Every structure is written in structure tokens, then in C-alpha cells.
């Protein structure tokens, strides 16, 4: 059950990488509280958890079983996104994941479609991973930074796979509104 006061956020991959920007956004918005941090790097992950008065977990499954989690923010390496999203949704929590799932065998569209078929439509939030594109652009200056990647690539493929417009509306609008409207 979602806390009507503040959203309980768990972050996987919380010890480094993009998680710092996410943590700053949660702090700035003030509509959520970090309740759990999971990271394979025990030193970094436990430091972040301590700084935010959250519980540290070196094991993702253990973290998902802990109380007070309303949403899982997936900041782990790209190749882990698919597995982490599936497990988070299976625990009846929200999952926040980015379109850059890494690896050709597990793409955002495939994971999203599988979750819709399993009945987890109301637990899916998607957004663009601009950090990936900006980082890639720095290494290759002619590499574009597509602001419309989510709409032109991910959502377009979901429509081709048979996802209804009403389901996309739920994912892109209603779920986001529900997750931040307190």
C-alpha cells in the first residue's frame, strides 16, 4: 500500500553511477523518502544508505522483501535492468526503469509487454535515459541526443506489439500521476 505522505523509494545500483542524480531529485522534490539501497559494492551502497537514513541490502531479492517500498528505482548497470524490472513488478511494487535496457536480448518494450501480459500494467513507469545519450554524444560528438527516443522507438514498438492506446496512457500518464500525487 502506498504511503499517502511520502513515496517509499528503494534504489538498486544506489552506490554509484546515475543514482546520485536520482537521489538528488528525490531530495529536492520532497515527495518521497529513500527506504532502501541495494548495491553489490557494500562499501559504497552502505555509505549512501547511511547518508539517507535508509536500510542497505547487498542482495536485491532481500531488499524487495523488505517493508515500506512503494517504488523501485533501477540504477543498476544496463544489462541488469530487465531482470530487476521483472522482479520489482512481480513483488507488486512500482518499478521505474529506463529505455536503455542494454543487450539486444532484453529490451524495454519486451519487458514492458511481458509485465502487461502478467497483469502489472499499473506498476510500470517508463522514462528516457538521457544520461546514456549525453555520455555517448561526449564520446562521439556526431552521435545525436534524441529527446523523442521513448515516443518514437519504445512506444511505437509497443503499439506494433499490440499494446492499446489506453494501456500506454496508463503507463505514461496515470501511473506517473499516481506515483507522485500525494
Q: Does residue 1 form part of some domain?
A: no
Q: Does residue 86 form part of some domain?
A: yes
pTM value? 0.69
Domain tally for the chain? 1
Q: Does residue 149 form part of some domain?
A: yes
Task: Give the ranges where the chain is alpha helix by DSSP (H).
Answer: 19-29, 42-51, 60-64, 81-90, 108-117, 130-139, 149, 156-160, 165-169, 175-180
**Full pLDDT tens readout for the chain, 182 residues:** 454 577 888 999 987 777 888 888 788 777 788 999 999 999 999 999 999 999 999 999 999 999 888 888 888 887 787 788 878 877 766 666 554 544 434 456 777 777 788 788 887 877 665 555 555 555 665 555 556 667 777 788 888 889 999 998 898 888 877 766 54
At residue 36, φ and ψ (nearest 5 deg) are -150, 145
* Structural domain of 110: 7-180
Side-chain-side CA neighbours of residue 24 (13 Å)? 6
Amino acid at each position: 500500500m502506498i504511503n499517502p505522505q511520502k513515496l517509499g523509494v528503494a534504489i538498486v545500483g544506489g552506490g554509484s553511477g546515475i543514482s546520485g542524480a536520482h537521489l538528488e531529485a528525490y531530495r529536492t522534490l520532497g515527495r518521497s523518502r529513500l527506504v532502501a539501497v541495494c548495491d553489490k559494492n557494500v562499501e559504497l551502497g552502505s555509505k549512501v544508505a547511511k547518508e539517507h537514513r535508509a536500510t542497505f541490502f547487498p542482495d536485491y531479492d532481500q531488499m524487495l522483501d523488505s517493508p515500506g517500498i512503494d517504488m523501485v528505482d533501477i540504477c543498476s548497470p544496463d544489462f541488469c535492468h530487465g531482470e530487476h524490472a521483472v522482479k520489482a513488478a512481480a513483488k507488486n511494487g512500482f518499478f521505474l526503469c529506463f529505455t536503455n535496457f542494454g543487450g539486444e536480448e532484453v529490451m524495454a518494450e519486451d519487458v514492458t509487454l511481458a509485465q502487461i501480459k502478467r497483469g502489472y500494467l499499473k506498476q510500470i513507469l517508463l522514462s528516457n535515459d538521457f544520461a546514456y545519450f549525453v555520455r555517448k554524444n561526449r564520446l562521439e560528438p556526431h552521435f545525436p541526443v534524441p529527446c523523442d527516443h521513448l515516443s518514437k522507438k519504445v512506444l511505437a514498438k509497443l503499439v506494433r506489439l499490440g499494446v492499446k492506446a489506453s494501456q500506454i496512457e496508463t503507463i505514461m500518464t496515470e501511473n506517473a500521476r499516481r506515483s507522485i500525487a500525494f
